[in-house]
Structure 1
């Protein structure tokens, strides 16, 4: 029996344009993400380096760029939070049948943009019993330790948790720990249909 709903943020609630960041950085002169860049991205996502150092790294890697343009390019992935998804979440909170937890790989620049540009963000965050962002807890998906952190923190039984994420690597990692999963396809599926898609679990 499911007692806890564990949600990703991007492309579950918040619409993303995942190709946008590289497209915009390419306009600034980046031809490809090097292994060093990927490592920096992951460290930044885990809160291991500051926004200033992160932007400085890319400014050195893309000499014709500047901090303002880099931040704009980095945040171009972020789009909008549809009202119907917020209303779905608010209904879940009101019914109070499940513990609601958010678990997102994100970073300081992204969440700062969200707070400034998504007018319903405070209402959205208020729906959750716990709200975990990778750069604040220093873990990131799909590493097992991030799921173990949530399970231990809230004394959860894995078979009583349903985790919804748009990245298969993340849901597979959770599944290996015994957590129920829905690898949602944002191009064809919507979180508001959770209880019909996963009816067998409820």
Structure 2
């Protein structure tokens, strides 16, 4: 193994930093917006296009919030979301250091939109632990699509057989294995 690709949500990041609960656990209490309303008005109809980079998050989120929660700005919701979905698995990070010491190149391989991908690398400091990030909005495909793995592999500079993959989704693991 020359390279290791690591998933983010459910592997490296586990919910709220204080307690590990899902990021929107207290959304209604904190911002006055229910998870169900956000799910129905934003995530269900628009997320597939946003997470694969076909549509930016800000304009669509602004339109939705204007309808369902005009007192909340897209920035405020994204700040709330990203900050409440940032509990890092420090034990895993420490373990990955050993691979880097042995010369293994580390990448993140994740389904993310552009803003959260930047947040992960810059604000959470994952750029200090990983050599790069392959994410769905930048690749135009999300896991478990073979195209996600093909493009990530091409951009990594490694051959399929030189890369290992860590994910919490059996569907993604099987797709990576099937890819090679």
For 2:143, the equivalent position in structure 1 comes to 141
- Structure 2 residue runs without a partner (length 5+): none
Q: Does 1:85 align with 2:92?
A: yes
Q: What SS does the corresponding residue of 2:164 show, helix, strand or coil?
A: strand
CA–CA distance in structure 2, aligned partners of residues 137 and 29 of structure 1: 31
Question: What's the C-alpha RMSD, in Å, of the aligned pairs?
Answer: 3.0
For 1:200, the equivalent position in structure 2 comes to none
For residues 119-164 of structure 1, the C-alpha deviation after alignment (integer angstroms, 9 at most, x for no partner) is x433123xx2x4212222222111110011123343513x443211
For 1:49, the equivalent position in structure 2 comes to 55
Paired residue total = 171
Q: What SS does the corresponding residue of 2:159 show, helix, strand or coil?
A: coil
Q: Does 1:19 align with 2:26?
A: no
CA–CA distance in structure 2, aligned partners of residues 28 and 170 of structure 1: 32
- CA shift in 2, pair 1:49/1:25, >3 Å: farther
Instruction: Pick from 119, 125, 129 the counterpart of residue 124 of structure 1.
Output: 129
- CA shift in 2, pair 1:113/1:5, >3 Å: closer
8 Å Cα contact 1:29/1:62 also seen in 2: no
- Structure 1 residue runs without a partner (length 5+): 179-202
Higher relative contact order (CA closer than 8 Å, sequence separation 6+): 2
| CA shift for structure 1 position 38 | 2.5
8 Å Cα contact 1:58/1:70 also seen in 2: no
- CA shift in 2, pair 1:25/1:137, >3 Å: farther
For 1:9, the equivalent position in structure 2 comes to 8
State how 1:39-188 maps to structure 2 within 5 Å.
39-67=45-73, 68-75=75-82, 77-96=84-103, 98-115=104-121, 117-118=123-124, 120-125=125-130, 128=131, 130-153=132-155, 154-157=157-160, 159-178=161-180
8 Å Cα contact 1:28/1:64 also seen in 2: no
| CA shift for structure 1 position 24 | 1.9
CA–CA distance in structure 2, aligned partners of residues 113 and 101 of structure 1: 16
TM-score, normalised via structure 2 length: 0.74
TM-score, normalised via structure 1 length: 0.67
